[in-house]
């Protein structure tokens, strides 16, 4: 009897976990765009790390760059842009699915940035950044306070371009995406002997959540009213982590448990934000969707889950991926390099994000 109960409960849990995926299969992009139009969605503004950086780091004095081949192999024209992927990022796909006429979200610091692009949205994200300012400082990249400073610069430029009232309207009705956190743990807490001496893992998680609270309030002060936070992915499933801290195949539970518990804290914080300052929020469960892809790749047309497409697929990412040979078909891989997802995986995450938007910000 107990075994039957276990099986039944397992089935219920599996069904509930897969519900977002089942919903995505029925996602009607036409309906998404119509709903966004009815809710006056103006653009997408992005903050975060390499998961959403389209090339801001290209102009920084840092080694955290992806503006060389084979990065960009499957981007338009096969050109590297600074995106840590073989092609587009989730935020590029989100803009495409919401608006149709926007295929990418440009980097705010790009030398090719045109003023008219400001109206349609930009990314302030910086690879290797984190919620902890120390994380960004260790790599010489843009911290979130610095990204928010550029947000203010953006607002001023927008006001000069379209007028103060219209600028306020555009920002108020923008979808703001915030995606980071992985570097705080993998590059900062577990590698650098600073935060780990100051905090236990849970204390550090709470410290990061307090920083998130401050950043959201600053976004609200500047004018943002719709926020999507992307959760930390299953860090223990990244090829780099499998290679260094695991057996090369099975996800490392220690790091996944940290990501899962941190995501839970972030979700609770978003509930508090909604009730206190009135910011409309949504959460994208990147942890669950990537874990599903790793555990059941065939559901997504994927095959390789433990290695990246670049080089050996076990340790190469960023500069160590420069000029390396790649797998024949990245669309069969969860990971492009030893840390970052492929364009195929980013598209899957984008579909989940759009579904979350429908349910929480546009409904």
Whole-number Å distance between alpha carbons of 290 and 287: 6
Considering 90, 96, 139, 340, which one is annotated as catalytic?
A: 340
292 catalytic per annotation:
no
Residue written as token pair 């926020």: 227
What DSSP letter does each residue of 4-48 carry, written as one string? HHHHHHHHHHHHHHHHHHHHHHT--HHHHHHHHHHTT---EEEEE
Question: Between the CA of residue 213 and those of 175, 198, 199, 274, 361, what are the distances in Å?
Answer: 18, 21, 19, 11, 19
Which of 53, 132, 184, 337 is the catalytic position? 337
- Annotated active-site residue 320? The verdict is no
50 is catalytic: yes
Q: Which helix (H) or strand (E) holds 92?
A: helix 90-99
- CB neighbours of 203 closer than 8 A, spacing ≥ 6? none
Cβ-contact 127, 66 below 8 angstroms:
yes
What are the structure tokens assigned to 71, written together? 């990065």
Residue with tokens 């009705």: 173
- Which is nearest to 346 in space by CA: 45, 88, 109? 88
Q: Which residues of 218-250 are buried (b: 16+ CB within 10 A; e: fewer)?
A: bbbebbbbbbbbbbbbbbbbbbbbbbeebeeee
Three-class SS of residue 195? helix
Let me know: does 315 contact 50? Beta carbons within 8 Å. no
Catalytic residue chosen out of the listed positions 50, 129, 139, 179: 50
Name the H helices within 192-311. Answer: 195-198, 201-222, 239-245, 253-276, 286-295
- For residue 331, how many C-alpha atoms fall within 13 Å in the half-sphere facing its CB? 5
Counted residue by residue, the chain has a size of 363
Tell me which residues are annotated as active site: 50, 337, 340
């Amino acid at each position: 009897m107990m075994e039957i109960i276990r099986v039944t409960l397992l089935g219920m849990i599996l069904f509930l976990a897969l519900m977002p995926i089942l919903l995505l299969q029925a996602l009607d992009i036409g309906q998404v765009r119509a709903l966004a139009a009815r809710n006056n969605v103006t653009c997408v503004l992005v903050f975060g790390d390499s998961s959403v950086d389209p090339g801001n780091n290209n102009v920084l004095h840092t080694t955290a760059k992806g503006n060389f081949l084979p990065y960009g192999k499957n981007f338009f024209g096969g050109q590297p842009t600074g995106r840590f992927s073989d092609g587009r990022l989730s935020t590029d796909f989100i803009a495409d699915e919401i608006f149709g006429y926007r295929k990418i979200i440009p980097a705010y610091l790009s030398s090719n940035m045109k003023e008219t692009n400001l109206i349609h949205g930009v990314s302030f994200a910086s690879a290797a950044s984190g919620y902890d300012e120390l994380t960004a400082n260790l790599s010489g990249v843009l911290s979130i306070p610095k990204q928010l400073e550029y947000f203010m610069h953006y607002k001023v430029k927008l006001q000069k371009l379209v007028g103060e009232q219209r600028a306020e309207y555009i920002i108020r009705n923008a979808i703001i995406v915030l995606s980071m956190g992985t570097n705080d743990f993998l590059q900062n807490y577990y590698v650098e002997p600073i935060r780990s001496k100051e905090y236990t893992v849970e204390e550090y998680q709470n410290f990061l959540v307090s920083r998130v609270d401050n950043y959201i309030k600053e976004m609200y002060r500047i004018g943002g009213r719709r926020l999507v936070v992307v959760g930390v992915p299953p860090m223990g499933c990244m090829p780099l982590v499998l290679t260094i801290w695991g057996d090369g195949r099975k996800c490392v539970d220690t790091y996944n448990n940290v990501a899962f518990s941190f995501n839970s804290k972030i979700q609770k914080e978003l509930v508090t934000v909604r009730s206190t300052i009135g910011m409309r929020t949504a959460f994208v469960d990147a942890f669950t969707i990537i874990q599903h892809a790793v555990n059941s790749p065939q559901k997504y047309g994927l095959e390789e889950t433990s290695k990246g497409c670049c080089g050996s697929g076990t340790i190469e990412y960023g500069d160590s991926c420069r000029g390396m040979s790649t797998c024949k078909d990245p669309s069969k891989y969860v990971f492009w390099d030893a840390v970052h997802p492929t364009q195929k995986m980013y598209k899957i995450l984008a579909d989940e994000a759009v579904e979350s938007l429908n349910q929480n910000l546009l409904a």
